[in-house]
Structure 1
Amino acid sequence: MTKRSQPDQSLIAMPSFKAMRSFVAAAKYRNFTRAAEALCVTQAAISRQIRELETHLGTELFVRSGREVMLTPSGAALFDAAQLSLLNIFQATERIRRQKSDKRTLTLCCSPAMSTLWLSRRMHSFFSANPDLDVNIITTQHFLALEPGIDPDIFVTKIFDLRPGYLRTPLFHEVVYPVCSPGYLNAHPELKTLEGIRNSVLLDLNPYGRAQLTEHVDWDAWFALQARDWPLAASDHSHYFTSNDYGLVVQMALDGQGVALGWDHLVRDMVREGRLVRPVAEELTLSEALQYLIVKEEKADDPACLRLKAWLIAQFA
């Protein structure tokens, strides 16, 4: 005898998808007529859906003022959740739809800094040369603990022993050196010595949330490896800022707020363009820290994956 499922009250009590879609459109455009035009329905249909939703919730979601509508506090709270939920549903269905289309989608996983400071500047050239390919970029600092369902085709990471079923290609050793804005150097000519940098405003990258990444280098480590071991730690200095967001650290350097440690592969373009400068010639090559291109073994001979792999290697070269 088949056991019957108990009624799911959370699903039963949930408003209809059509009503939520009408509500989000009305909240977005602040006008029922414009919402109706956006959804290709009548204004009466939008009004009816909103009225039924308000009756279901037992509260007003909009304040009507002439042709414009404004969200009530209850409406604003619902809009924040509903807009994000509908967007997630749309993105999931689009991913499924693209899997069934002729256009190939590859998933590339890298760090947020790599994505923002390196990849975003170059992807247009890949898409121009490969109009038949889409690339889904996943960023993380936790390469060993990706969310279920995330299965990248290619990684760019310094963690070489990532997971079984992937093949790795070494790309480059990391090189680290101080950088600042030209204006900051002009205002602080003492930065042309290591002592001057040590006494300036130091912008540092902290290891919070980066435990899986090896060879973390902060200012104390950098100075020590330059045979400069000052008794006072950088973190005890009166002019010291730290964040685990490397993009923020670099932006503060660009804005003339201090001196940052620049990872060459991430800041090289900005140095070449003159947006950042190297106040001293000293640098640190991390001989034990390699960045790798890691490709799913089952995709090793896939033509689309080979194109993305070859493009990445060429860009790093």
Structure 2
Amino acid sequence: MNPRRLTPSMSLLIAFEAAARHCSFTKAADELALTQSAVSRQVQSLEAQLGIELFRRDGRKIELTAAGALYQHELAAALGRIRSATLQTIAYKAEGGPLNLAVLPTLGSKWLLPKMHEFYALHPGNLVHIHSRIIHADIQSSASDMQAIICAGKGDWPGYISHLLLKEKLVVIASPTAVAEFRAMSPADVADQVLLNVVSRPNAWSDWFDRYNLGHRSMRTGPSFELTAHLIQAVSAGIGIGLVPDILVQDELKSGALIALFDPMESGRNYYLAYATRYQHLPALKTFSAWLLSLPFPD
């Protein structure tokens, strides 16, 4: 097949995508600053090149065909990537530009955001757009539209550069009013408490029980939460006890709103700043990563 048929001109694609999004040649023309007839001709040219009808026409009314709807869905994503790539390239000219950063929700609110005023004080011309994401083991599928990610894992993601930020330690937390005899508690006494969970850590309590050679059958499994922040709130409300990264409850522990039971346990995971190798020379990322890695981090 002729490769030219598979790569229609950008003007034809933009005209079709706008018409498909509005289901109107007239509205597409207004958006693109063209005449209605010019948009119609470009769509007809695209249909002729592809050899398939993209719209059903009924007088002035148009409606996408099944092929047209599929094409529009794929094309919208592709054009979005092209526009994003263009904006990133323009950012090089200014030696700055915004940085799109994905971060775990509770880590972002509890750990990163309180520090961002320091970054902006040093780099007032830079912008970091922070996006809360539940980031899974496959970070590419979790945040492929982001230029950088702060996430937990082992740092061995193919195609990504990663920098260690924090070693993760899990601590058992409780409300001092809900667990009145906490000072006399032993690890075995945890089995008498309702154990709250985060869905992304289904084995956390099992690992903790193994550490103290406790039987799993004695566990009283309680509700699960998608966000660690919600689990912390549930512990504060006296619903049960939780096992969370100690870095996320520093304020609550200092204020006495929550108490830590027993010593923290290393989880085997760490927090990293990670980014795809194609972004490593992005000026905004270089500025942000240099600042972030210069911060003092706890052992």
TM-score by length of 1: 0.57
Report the count of equivalent residues: 268
Alignment of 1:205 onto 2:200 = yes
Report the CA distance shift for 1:313/1:174 in structure 2 as closer, same or farther (over 3 A): farther
**Within the alignment, does 1:218 sit opposite 2:204 as a pair?**
yes
**SS of the counterpart of 1:103?**
coil
Identity, % of aligned pairs? 20
Letter in 2 for 1:230: G
1:85 offset after TM fit, Å? 0.5
1:264 paired to 2:264: no
Residues of 2 paired with 1:171 and 1:254: CA distance?
20
> Contact between 2:200 and 2:226, CA under 8 Å: does it hold in 1?
no
Q: 1:97 to 1:121 in 2, by over 3 A?
A: same
Superposed CA offset, 1:166-202 (max 9, x none): 997765662433579xxxx99x99xx9723434x564
288 and 254 in structure 1: CA distance in 2 versus 1, 3 angstrom threshold = closer
Match of 1:229 among 201, 214, 219: 214
Structure 2 residue identity aligned to 1:176: V
Contact 1:176 1:285 in 2 (8 A): yes
How much has 1:37 moved relative to structure 2?
Answer: 2.3
Q: CA deviation at 1:290?
A: 8.3
Q: Residues 44-100 of structure 1, C-alpha deviation per residue, up to 9 Å, x if partnerless?
A: 22222223333434224356686x754343332112100000011111122222122
Which of 44, 55, 61 lines up with 1:61 in the alignment?
55
Provide the residue aligned with 2:28 in structure 1: 35
Unaligned ranges ≥5, structure 1: 1-7, 144-149, 208-216, 242-246
CA contact (8 A) 1:19 1:53 kept: yes
Please show how residues 4-15 of structure 1 align to structure 2 within 5 Å.
9-15=2-8
Cα distance change of structure 1 residues 295 and 121 upon mapping to structure 2, 3 Å threshold: closer
Assess if the C-alpha contact under 8 Å between 1:171 and 1:290 holds in 2. no
- Unpaired segments of 5 or more residues in structure 2? 140-145
Q: Indicate the SS of the match to 1:59.
A: coil
Partner of 1:47: 40
Q: TM-score, normalised by structure 2?
A: 0.60
Query: Using the alignment, how far apart are the partners of 1:162 and 1:28 within structure 2?
Result: 36
